[in-house]
Each structure stands twice: as C-alpha cells, then as structure tokens.
Structure 1
C-alpha cells in the first residue's frame, strides 16, 4: 500500500494540466491495450481454428484389406519409442508427406508409423485417456521430438485388438511466428498511441484550462492590487464559461459594494462635518467668554445652548440612520420577523406626525392589514414618509394617508418633485438642491426603500395623481387583511 500511497501523493502534487494529460494518456493506453489484446486473441483463435480445420481434412490411414479407419496391422515400423519406430520406416513420398501431415499410432507398449512418416511426435501417456471420437476428435498443442511446435489431432484406434490413439500433426511454427510478429506490432502501435495520447492530452488540457489560467491571473491580480471589478472574457456556455460568468458577477458586485461603501463614508463625513463644525464653534465661543471673564448675554447664551442641543439631536438622528443603513442590501434571514398589524403601525406613526406638524391637517383612511416583518423598522419607515410629507407641506396644508389592501399612500400638497430628480430620491445622502436649507440628512427615504425591500414589498415616489400639487409616496407590502392563525 505504501508505493500506491506515494504514487497517489505524487499525482496529487502535480499541476492540474499535467494530471489531465496523464489521465488522458492512461485512458488511451488502457483502451489501446484492451483493443490490441482482443485483436491478438481473435487472430490467434482464427489461425488455430484454421489449423484444426486443415487437420480435420487429413485422411485417416486404412490398413490393407480393412475398411474401418483407425485399425492397423502390426508392421515392421513399430517400436517401443517414437524415434526407434521412425528409424524403421522406409523413405516414401505418399500423400501424408506431400500434405505436411505426420501420423503415428501409440499404444501403451509401442509406437507405430504409417508408410511415409518423416517426423516423430512427442506423445504423452495422457493421449490414450482422452483420444476423442471419430466424429469429434480431440486437439492439443504439442511438439515434435526435435522441438518443433505442432497442432495434434487425436483419434481412437486399435492395434492387434489393443486400444490405441491415432496422432495426426502439422507444424504451427509459422503460426506462432505470425502471432509473435503481430504482438510486437500491437505493442509498437500501443506505444505510439500512448505517446500521441500524452501529447494530445497536454494540448487539450492547455486549451481547456486556458480560461482557468485567465481566472487565476485575475484573482492573483486582485489579491495583489486589491483592484476589484476586473473581469475576464467569457466564451461559450460550458462549465468554464459559467465559472467565468460567476466570477465576473462577483467581481462586479464587490466593486459596486466598495463604491457604495466609499460613497457612504464620504457622504457621512460631509454630513457630519456641518453639525460638528457648528458645535465646535459654539463650544469655542462659550469657552472663550468664560476664559476672558466676559459673560455672554443670557439670551445669547440660551440661544447657543439651544443650537447645540439641536445639533446634538441632528447628530443622534444621523448616527441612527447610518446604523440602519449599515446593514447589507440583501434581506437578513436572521432578523426578527413577526406578524405585524401594519394598520396599527401606521396609526402610531400618524400620532407622531401630528406632533411634528401641528398646523397641518391629516386626512386618513387606514384599514386592517397584517404583514411579516420587523415592527420597529416598519414604523420608522412610515415615520420617515410622514416626516418627508410634513417637511414639504405648506403651512395649514393637508396630508392624505391611506392604507387599503396593503397599499399605503402618503400625499402632501407641497411643491412636488421635479421629474429629473425622481431617479435619485432613494439614494443615500441625496437631497434636492432646492431643499438643502431644510433640516435632514438625506437618509430617510433610503431607509424606507431598504425596509420595504427587506419586507418583500415595493416603494415609489412621484408626482401627485391627476396633475395636482405635491408628491405622493406609495408602499405596497404583501400580507393579509386578517391576522393569520
């Protein structure tokens, strides 16, 4: 097992291209070896069957005055051994010699040769036990006494009434030489096939793994330079192409994520700079007045403290919004999601909205609707929509709030939103140039969009219907009009 383990370790330590080439060469080698072996055995069986057929056509010697084959009279060319009996046979050129057939009869005590035999067979005592029959003779491979290989036919016979066996043989040296030559040829072809398969496997592996090499180069480049967003060309629709497409999607997603992160940090820094600068200015004034012993007027001091409190509240809201948006864009499966009576959530948000716009009129039509989501996040989203409507409503204006069949609409009667600004209203930190002087961080609608998306709904913001003044926000959430059991 240790050599196999070392071989396996060596194989696994090789590059993928080399392993593919080795596996290809091995597969082709096995296929060629099996085909060559099958071809060799098929040719061998065919040649030997032809030899047996030729032996089956050999005539059976019949002694004078007899009409039964396989019966012999005692002759002077019999002896105790094959060589002794063959030495007694006079030279002749009868049909056996002309057709390359050599015949002899063996009994348990002697060996006899018909007239014309030229070579003795190396007979075996077992030939007497299984001589075959006249209709189904037996065959075996053997050799002459001089070592020449032969195919031998066995037939039953009698000599002086004793059981004997008739052996008829023909040389098969030419057949064996042909088979040996064929084996060498097959081995050479197999060797050339293996070498060719190795070269072809190397070429195929290099061509097939070229996209993988490109992918590896890109990954190494990203790891070295941290330049996400790099892609590789995609050709075809195979598994390598799918891998390249997936990598390109991942790289693009990472680039977009980094871009959003960079923009979020930059926008957050910009938004934090204004309240922090105001706070630092007010604090510096208070410290300087105390250090110089010149107390500020009570009204000025109270106004500065009020401004500092407002700035602190703005910072608190901004930090809360940033924490809310720090979650990933995709829904979090581990978030707490329960059955939320959305109509009650809208009702609580309306109570807070009335406090923030006491001079405004709220026209409401809220009907029961139950959804699956995060209660706190949904309430914050509705409050953000109402805050946006309160912020842009004129004094003593009207805000229309409706919830029917999971469709929440919030409409104000303010100046509305220009058409060219509609694609950006849900972007983080985006604020209309006409409303930069109003309080806010530009994160409220982004939080609404993310919450609605996490709940599986849709949100849109556009002009009021029927060409009226103001803007209308529409939120559609999946749910049921009755509480699910």
Structure 2
C-alpha cells in the first residue's frame, strides 16, 4: 500500500500591487479619499509646474552661455609652433611656468585652446590661460566647414569641470589649418540648476502638504451636507421616525440630493400617515358591522341556551339583518383590498384595450337591479381606452351606486358617454359646495348621509381607478341648475380600438 501524500498547504492568492492599492483606497472614508485625490492632483500639478520651470530656466541659462560663445573671439594664432605641446595638460603647465606671452594677431580669451592637427596633434594655450580643454577626435570634422562656421558641443576641462566648447578653424601664416577651441564653464549653471531643483522640490513638498491640509478642510466643508444627510438617514433607521429633513443651501448636486432626500422623507411620512389613518378608519368602519353581528349572534345563542326560541318573524328579521351586515362587511373588505393597491399608475404594457361604452351599459344593467324604481336614460357612443377592465367597471358601478343611493323614489339617472367623457347625473339632494373638496377622500361621508349604508370608499376607488387609466374624475352640482349631482369622467382613447 503506497503512503498517502499530504496535499500541499493552501496559500492565499497573491494580490497584485495595484489591487492592494485599490483595496486600500476603497476601504478609506469618503473624506480621506477626497483629501487623497486633492493632494494627488495638486502634487501632479506642482510637479509638472516645477519640471516646466526647471527646463525653462535650464534652457534660458544655457542659451546665455551659448550666446556668449557665439560672440567670443578666439582667432589669434599661436606665436610659435615650438610653444605647442602634444597634450593639453603639458601645454597648460608650460603656460603656468612661463610669463604670459602675447599671441600673434588678436588677443584670445582665457579659455581658448589651439590644436594643430597632424599625426601627433599639438596643443597651444594663450599666455593668460588657466584651464585646458579635453579634445575630442570628432572635433576634426569641423575642418570641413567654412572658416566662419563653428560647432558648439558639450565638453569639460582637464580638471573635470563641465563646459560648453565652440569649435572652429583658422589658417595662420606658415601653419596648417588650426582648430580654435573656445570654452565657457557651465559649473555655475549646473550648481544653480541643482539649487533650483532643491528649491522647487521643497516648494513642491510644501505645496503637497498644504494641499493635503486644504483638501482635508475642503472635504470637511464640502461633505458637511453629506454628513447631515447620513445622520438623518441613521436617525431614521434607528428610530423609524420618517419625515426628518435637513436644511438645503445652494443649488449644487449636494443641495439637489438633500432636496430629493427631504422629498423622499416627507413622502414616506405622508405614506405612513395615510397608512395609519387607513388602518384607523378601517378599524372604525369594521367595528360597527362586527358589533351588530356579535349582538345578533349573542341574541340567537342566548335564546337557544334559555330554551325560549325567538318568534319566527323576529328570527327571520334577525337573520336578514345578519345577512345584510355580512354583505356590507364583504363590500367593505373588498373596497379595502381595492384601495390597498399602489397609488402609482400601472405601466401601459399591463393594460388592455377596453370598450368603455360596453362597460357603461353593463354597469347600468346592474344598477337597475339595485334601483328597481328608478328611470335610467342612457346614451353611449363607442369609446375605447387602455385600462384595467375590472377596475374600470368597478369605478363606473360605484358612480351609479352613488347615484342610486341619493336618487329619490321614481327619480331619473342620466348616463351619457360622448367623446371619452362619461357623465352620470342624478336628481337627488346634491352635494353642498363646502363638501366637494372631500368627496374623493377615503372613508369620508357627508354628515347628511351618515344614516345611509356605505363605507365612504366608493368614490375613492373611482378616483384611483380613473387615475390608473390616465384619466380624471370630478363631482359637482348639475350644470343646468337643477337638483342633483353630476359626476364626470374623462378618459383618453378613441372611437375605434387602437
């Protein structure tokens, strides 16, 4: 049996450096990230500005040195070939060990050096020279240029000091073409640039530190509304006290966010208030039929327990009342279920093409059964709408039930549908003007109709169903000045199915 080989130990996956930086960045607070981004942006801006400044200064300073070289005079030839040596160092020592000797022709600047080309080049320095220039084999290429032309290159002295060197050539009498090397030290320039780099680096570092501090202050000031918003949200989450708002200042994105939060908080508070009011009103409305049912049931049970049955007529009347109360309770529960749906309209894709004139005709037939002594005058023209058929039919039935409830015996109810406008006119007592603003409120009932059956939810269901279909509904006095009320429903659509 072969020995069992243990599995290799599990090692965590190696996270790339970039991934670690991203993880660290996302783990910071918004204030810290804003401070970091501000400092980084300022650091980049300062670094680019410092680099641009350094390069500009470098170009200007070297430009001055080049300009001086272009205008330097170094055309004086050596006085004697014997004064030249085979190396720049030996030529410099010879000059330093002897008294200054003038050159033939014009005087040359101190940093001038002459090179006589040949198998063994010879170097000459003016009598006042203090430095020798390190030659370059490529300098001989200047002989291909005209005597008035020159070349400037980077170079250095024999002591290692950096310099800019101008190379040209002349033709002295009795001598071969001679190279003229004129140099200007750039040590001062490089020292100045080095100091400038330190200064700019210090300024950049100080700027980054100041930017971080300023970014922190700016982040604290800019995110103060966000902190207030966060505190408000945490307060609501902790106490469930909706309706809390925060002050809004300005018109920026933070102000818009605060305004939206205030609107949302207010909407939630209103929704909870409506929900609480709905529960309270529903409990109040349910209490009456339930109490009546319980009383009637207790009366029946007590009559059976005592052995004294109720008279048949009383028992029949009692059972009829119970049935009516059960029907009223069923209608009330159905109305509550209807109103428990969201107030926002359903998307158009969930609706269907509905024949409003057919719905109105079916509703009139059902209303005739509920008001057998009433006269219905109906005139409906074809009209098709996008709506929920069941909800819309319930809304029309509720309008007709309201008209039947308030119509006098033998009264007339007029139903008209023309051009998408459905009107229902009764000839009852009408609605007082001061009560018109409340007719579509849930559980609202006119003081004069409290003794009539109903829950006060019918017209609320009408308003909600019509609103979901994209229409509008109104209720007011009859337009001809006669008795009764006029309900008007306007729904978008057309005379033919679309």
- Category of TM-score, reference length = shorter chain: over 0.9
Q: CA 1:98 to 1:59, structure 2 compared with 1: closer, same or farther past 3 Å?
A: closer
Q: Distance in 1 between matches of 2:107 and 2:277?
A: 107
- SS for the counterpart of 2:473 is strand
Partner residue, 2:122: 111
Please state if 1:459 is matched with 2:465. Answer: no
Q: Distance in 2 between matches of 1:482 and 1:335?
A: 19
Shift of 1:127: 3.0
Please state if 1:121 is matched with 2:133. Answer: yes
| 1:8 paired residue among 3, 15, 22 | 22
Q: Do the aligned residues in 2 keep the contact of 1:152 with 1:170 (CA within 8 Å)?
A: yes
Q: Distance in 2 between matches of 1:195 and 1:173?
A: 33
Q: Distance in 2 between matches of 1:157 and 1:191?
A: 53
Q: Distance in 2 between matches of 1:202 and 1:364?
A: 75
Partner residue, 2:3: none
Partner residue, 1:380: 394
Q: Distance in 2 between matches of 1:389 and 1:135?
A: 117
Q: Distance in 2 between matches of 1:53 and 1:425?
A: 97
Partner residue, 2:100: 92
- SS for the counterpart of 2:353 is strand
Q: Do the aligned residues in 2 keep the contact of 1:230 with 1:252 (CA within 8 Å)?
A: yes
How many residues get paired?
A: 476
Q: Do the aligned residues in 1 keep the contact of 2:111 with 2:131 (CA within 8 Å)?
A: no
Moved more, 39-48 or 449-458: 39-48
Correspondence 1:193-342 to 2 at 5 A = 193-333=207-347, 336-342=350-356
Q: Distance in 2 between matches of 1:337 and 1:414?
A: 35
Q: Distance in 2 between matches of 1:135 and 1:316?
A: 117
Shift of 1:409: 1.0
Shift of 1:137: 2.0
Q: CA 1:347 to 1:131, structure 2 compared with 1: closer, same or farther past 3 Å?
A: farther
Q: Do the aligned residues in 1 keep the contact of 2:116 with 2:178 (CA within 8 Å)?
A: yes
Q: CA 1:9 to 1:207, structure 2 compared with 1: closer, same or farther past 3 Å?
A: same
Please state if 1:345 is matched with 2:356. Answer: no
Partner residue, 1:482: 496
Q: CA 1:175 to 1:131, structure 2 compared with 1: closer, same or farther past 3 Å?
A: farther
Shift of 1:102: 2.7
Please state if 1:428 is matched with 2:442. Answer: yes
- SS for the counterpart of 1:121 is coil
Root mean square deviation of aligned Cα:
2.2
Alignment gaps of 5+ in structure 2: 1-14
Moved more, 238-247 or 9-18: 9-18
Q: Distance in 2 between matches of 1:93 and 1:51?
A: 28
Shift of 1:244: 0.8
Correspondence 1:133-152 to 2 at 5 A = 133=145, 134-152=147-165
Q: Distance in 2 between matches of 1:232 and 1:54?
A: 70
Q: Do the aligned residues in 2 keep the contact of 1:132 with 1:138 (CA within 8 Å)?
A: no
Shift of 1:80: 2.2
TM-score by length of 2: 0.90
Partner residue, 1:406: 420
Q: Do the aligned residues in 2 keep the contact of 1:415 with 1:469 (CA within 8 Å)?
A: yes
Please state if 1:20 is matched with 2:11. Answer: no
Q: Distance in 2 between matches of 1:345 and 1:275?
A: 31
Q: Do the aligned residues in 1 keep the contact of 2:75 with 2:108 (CA within 8 Å)?
A: no
Q: Distance in 1 between matches of 2:164 and 2:99?
A: 23
Please state if 1:82 is matched with 2:51. Answer: no
Partner residue, 2:4: none
Please state if 1:46 is matched with 2:55. Answer: no
Shift of 1:162: 6.1
Shift of 1:104: 3.1
Q: Do the aligned residues in 2 keep the contact of 1:55 with 1:168 (CA within 8 Å)?
A: yes
| 1:361 paired residue among 359, 372, 375 | 375
Shift of 1:206: 1.4
Partner residue, 1:396: 410
Q: CA 1:94 to 1:203, structure 2 compared with 1: closer, same or farther past 3 Å?
A: farther
Q: CA 1:292 to 1:164, structure 2 compared with 1: closer, same or farther past 3 Å?
A: farther
Q: CA 1:221 to 1:331, structure 2 compared with 1: closer, same or farther past 3 Å?
A: same
Alignment gaps of 5+ in structure 1: 64-71
